């Protein structure tokens, strides 16, 4: 006779929440497994403290659990700040679900903040490496090399996000010599107009004249600037693949070009502008950042340049 193991109220509540995440939010199997692991540890911690019902859990329990995650005092592995933050986010979501579902009257985790994670500096590559990357993207004959070179030139010339670049339509490009620019649609539907330098303009015009018509012939007349081989708008994934291929050709890739992404060119754009003396508020506008604080992180990757500017500019530096 098979023995039926009864679940505790918290374990039943966890299964209900995981079912909600599966059905209502359609999370992937790997994401659900992470939720099950993080919240399963939380349930075990609560039960060990004598908390058996959702209504038993207090804010102090959540605070103490965060400490347990960081130190391993609950018998589990001590987690880094980023891993503990992920686990706390899962806990906060579960408590919020309890309130919305009428299981508890108060959100015990509402005031608990995930631990601050170390500030990661943006990765940038050198000007020479950018040149090698772009040259590698344009290697070969035909429409695709013309497209890939134009795409990477544009990403570096404008600091555009990859979604902004592949979202460009032909009408968003002003190729007038001396005032060439593109109109980018950023986060929150915010538009900005960004100048385009001569290298990117030359690559873009070569693609629009000699490459795009060939690709467009296979499609149904999309206004997109960057097209795939079926004549449809180029996807973010395909643009990423083009960058990885170029990185491998240029000898800049790790395993599969893992350390280079389209955002690498955005970071390099900002870093090189600031290193060249651009005002941080101008770079903020070019990047489409809502706050200059976001842009200021790029100044952290050029300490030698800042020190040199200080030495040359401050009347009492030397």
20 is catalytic: no
Catalytic one among 51, 149, 266, 267? 266
Choice among 187, 190, 281, 307 that is catalytic? 187
Question: Catalytic one among 95, 147, 161, 233?
Answer: 161
Look up tokens 């340049």; give the residue: 305
Q: Does the annotation mark 17 as catalytic?
A: no
> Considering 17, 45, 207, 298, which one is annotated as catalytic?
298
For residue 224, give the nearest of 235, 214, 232, 236 by alpha carbon: 232
Is 307 labeled as catalytic in the residue annotation? no
Residue pair 299/154 in contact (Cβ under 8 Å)? The answer is no
- The answer to whether 190 is a known catalytic residue is no
Least Cα distance to 127 among 278, 15, 269 occurs for 269
Torsion region of 159: left, alpha or beta (phi above 0 gives left; psi -120 to 50 gives alpha): left
263 is catalytic: yes
Sheet order of strands, 191-195 included: 173-174, 181-185, 191-195
Question: 92: closest CA among 71, 63, 72?
Answer: 63
Other CB atoms within 10 A of residue 104 CB: 18
Report the candidate in 47, 58, 48 with the shortest Cα–Cα distance to residue 112: 58
272 in catalytic set:
no
Annotated catalytic sites, by residue?
Answer: 161, 187, 263, 266, 289, 298
């Amino acid at each position: 006779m098979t023995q039926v193991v009864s679940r505790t109220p918290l374990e039943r509540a966890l299964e209900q929440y995981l079912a909600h995440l599966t059905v209502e939010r359609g999370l992937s199997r790997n994401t659900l497994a992470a939720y099950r692991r993080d919240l399963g540890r939380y349930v075990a911690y609560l039960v060990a403290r004598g908390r058996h019902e959702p209504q038993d859990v207090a804010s102090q329990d959540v605070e103490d659990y965060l400490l347990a995650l960081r130190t391993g005092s609950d018998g589990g592995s001590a987690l880094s700040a980023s891993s503990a933050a992920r686990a706390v986010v899962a806990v906060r979501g579960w408590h919020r679900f309890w309130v919305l579902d009428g299981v508890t009257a108060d959100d015990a985790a509402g005031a608990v903040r995930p631990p601050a994670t170390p500030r990661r500096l943006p990765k940038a590559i050198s000007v020479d490496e950018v040149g090698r990357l772009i040259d590698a993207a344009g290697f070969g004959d035909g429409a695709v090399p013309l497209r890939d070179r134009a795409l990477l030139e544009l990403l570096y010339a404008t600091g555009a996000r990859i979604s902004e670049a592949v979202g460009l339509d032909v009408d968003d490009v002003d190729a007038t010599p001396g005032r060439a620019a593109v109109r980018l649609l950023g986060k929150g539907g915010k538009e900005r107009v960004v100048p385009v330098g001569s290298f990117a303009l030359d690559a873009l015009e070569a693609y629009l004249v000699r490459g795009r018509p060939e690709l467009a012939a296979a499609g149904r007349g999309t206004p997109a600037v960057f097209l795939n081989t079926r004549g449809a708008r180029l996807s973010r994934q395909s643009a990423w693949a083009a960058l990885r291929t170029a990185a491998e050709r240029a000898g800049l890739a790790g395993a599969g070009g893992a350390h280079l992404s389209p955002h690498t060119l955005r970071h390099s754009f900002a870093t090189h502008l600031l290193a060249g003396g651009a005002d941080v508020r101008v770079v903020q506008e070019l990047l489409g950042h809502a706050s200059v604080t976001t842009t200021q992180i790029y100044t952290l990757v050029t300490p030698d340049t800042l020190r040199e500017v200080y030495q040359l500019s401050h009347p009492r530096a030397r």
